[in-house]
Amino acid sequence: MQKMHFEIIIHGKPQEIWDAIVDSQKYRKWSSVFHPDSCFEGGWEKGDRIYFLTCNKSNEKEGMIAEIAESRKYSFISVKHLGYISGGVEDTSSEKVRQFAPAYENYTFTQLGDDTKFEVDTDIEEDYVEMFSELWPKALKKLKDTVENNQ
């Protein structure tokens, strides 16, 4: 597991960035970088179960199973990844899952006048480091566009 850090300055208040993260329609816009059908089901409050999903060719849910480990409105979210969902079946205990879970993805919002620094600190499996090194900066740019263009 490798720890990775990404950040971007977005012209907007932390509340606007927060909204683009937790609003399902806005989330779909910027997270489409990871997969065109990216979405989530669940809540963003501490203790909530949340699923980061796409649909496979058979229209079955696939993605990550997580829990919100911490949620401080407009300042910090910690997502604790617990496993996978594949073909609609949840896996939180296989050998493959035990190799990475729990893995954390933390979002920090820091207001800088009329701007906000948005930071992502995440645990990434070695096999995915190169892919996420390319995708996270693109996703953050799309998040910035979503917020600044009030999409």
**Number of domains the chain is built from:** 1
CATH code, 138: 3.30.530.20
Contact 66, 80 (CB under 8 A): yes
Taking residues 55-80, what's their average pLDDT? 89
Q: What is the mean pLDDT of the chain?
A: 93
The structure's pTM equals: 0.92
Domain that holds residue 56: 2-148
| Tens digit of each residue's pLDDT (9 = 90 or more) over 111-137 | 999 999 999 999 999 998 999 999 999
Q: Is the pLDDT of residue 139 over 90?
A: yes
Q: Is the pLDDT of residue 102 over 80?
A: yes
d(CA 151, CA 139): 15
d(CA 133, CA 2): 11
| Tens digit of each residue's pLDDT (9 = 90 or more) over 45-54 | 999 999 999 8
Quick one: pLDDT band at residue 56, thresholds 50, 70, 90? Answer: low
Q: Is 53 helix (H, G, I), strand (E, B) or coil?
A: strand
Q: Is the pLDDT of residue 8 over 90?
A: yes
Residue-level pLDDT at 151:
65
d(CA 59, CA 23): 23
Residue 84's DSSP bridge partners are: 64, 91
Q: Which two tokens stand for residue 30?
A: 């910027």
d(CA 4, CA 136): 10
Quick one: pLDDT band at residue 99, thresholds 50, 70, 90? Answer: confident
